[in-house]
């Protein structure tokens, strides 16, 4: 049985995603899946580097996906800093073990979605597409 292909991006211009995860293996896999779905992806393994890249050109990104558990800045802290630069950018926080306290804190600062890393990639693409179309 062939694995299902992710739904493609439906925007006329290629949407640009900043992807941040310190697990480089997972970072590469998610980047490849997002690119196959039609997104342009900047993938970084450092939250501090991601903040520098975003701050240098905040209008270059349509959406940010960040891991929660990272050295330097956590995903929630990175999200908070990014939203200070550009409050309208949709942010998806992905985590191994989403708990109510971290979900509530993330949502309180403006994170649009908190998803489990165990989510299948079709569901991730569907969530991204929904956030980009709102």
DSSP 8-state secondary structure symbol assigned to residue 95: E
What's the pLDDT score for residue 124?
82
Going residue by residue through the chain, which has 134 residues, state the pLDDT in tens, using 9 for 90 and above.
Answer: 344 445 444 444 589 999 999 999 999 999 999 999 999 999 999 999 999 999 999 999 999 999 999 999 999 999 999 999 999 999 999 888 767 777 788 888 999 988 887 767 778 888 898 899 86
Q: Give exposure, 47-58, as e/b (b: 16+ Cβ within 10 Å).
A: beebbebbeeee
Classify domain 21-133 at the CATH superfamily level: Response regulator (3.40.50.2300)
Q: What is the DSSP letter of 13?
A: S
Q: What is the pLDDT of residue 8?
A: 47
Q: Which residue is listed with tokens 């991730």?
A: 124
Residue 52 gets the label, from left (phi > 0), alpha (psi -120 to 50) or beta, of alpha
pLDDT on residue 16: 97
Task: Check residue 51 and give its pLDDT.
Answer: 98
E strand map for 8-128: 16-20, 40-44, 63-67, 91-95, 113-116
- pLDDT computed for residue 102 by the predictor: 75
Domain residue spans in the chain? 21-133
Check residue 126 and give its pLDDT: 85
């Amino acid at each position: 049985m062939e694995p299902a292909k992710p739904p493609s991006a439906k925007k006329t211009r290629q949407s640009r995603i900043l992807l941040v995860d310190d697990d480089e293996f997972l970072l590469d896999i998610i980047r490849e899946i997002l690119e196959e779905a039609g997104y342009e992806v900047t993938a970084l393994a450092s939250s501090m580097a991601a903040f520098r890249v975003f701050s240098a050109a905040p209008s270059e990104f349509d959406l940010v996906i960040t891991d929660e558990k990272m050295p330097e800045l956590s995903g929630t802290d990175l999200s908070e800093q990014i939203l200070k630069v550009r409050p309208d950018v949709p942010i998806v926080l992905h985590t191994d073990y989403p708990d109510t306290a971290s979900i509530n804190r993330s949502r309180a600062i403006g994170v649009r979605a908190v998803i489990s890393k165990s989510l299948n990639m079709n569901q991730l693409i569907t969530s991204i597409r929904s956030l980009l179309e709102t």
